[in-house]
């Protein structure tokens, strides 16, 4: 007696990962040096983090 053939299993194709944002390297944040003083704006050792304006914090490169 012959056995029935089983249907072949479908392969799942991997979804490509979106490209990282070139400005923030995929973190979604950008850092700036803190400056002190009104005229010369002396830079300090402190850093201030903020939302990346290119990707709006998603970390993905814009598609436009």
Residue-averaged pLDDT of the chain: 82
Domain boundaries, the chain: 18-64
Could you give the 3-state DSSP secondary structure of residue 32? strand
**pTM, entire model:** 0.48
pLDDT, residue 4, reads 83
Give Cα separations from 42 to 3, 36, 39, 48, 63 (angstroms): 82, 5, 9, 15, 38
Q: How would residue 32 be classed by pLDDT, with cut points 50, 70 and 90?
A: confident
Q: What is the pLDDT of residue 22?
A: 84
């Amino acid at each position: 007696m012959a056995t029935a053939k089983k249907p072949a299993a479908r392969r799942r194709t991997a979804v490509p990962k979106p490209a990282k944002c070139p400005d923030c390297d995929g973190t979604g944040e950008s850092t700036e040096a803190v400056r002190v003083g009104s005229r010369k704006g002396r830079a300090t050792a402190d850093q201030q983090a903020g939302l990346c304006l290119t990707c709006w914090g998603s970390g993905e490169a814009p598609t436009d």
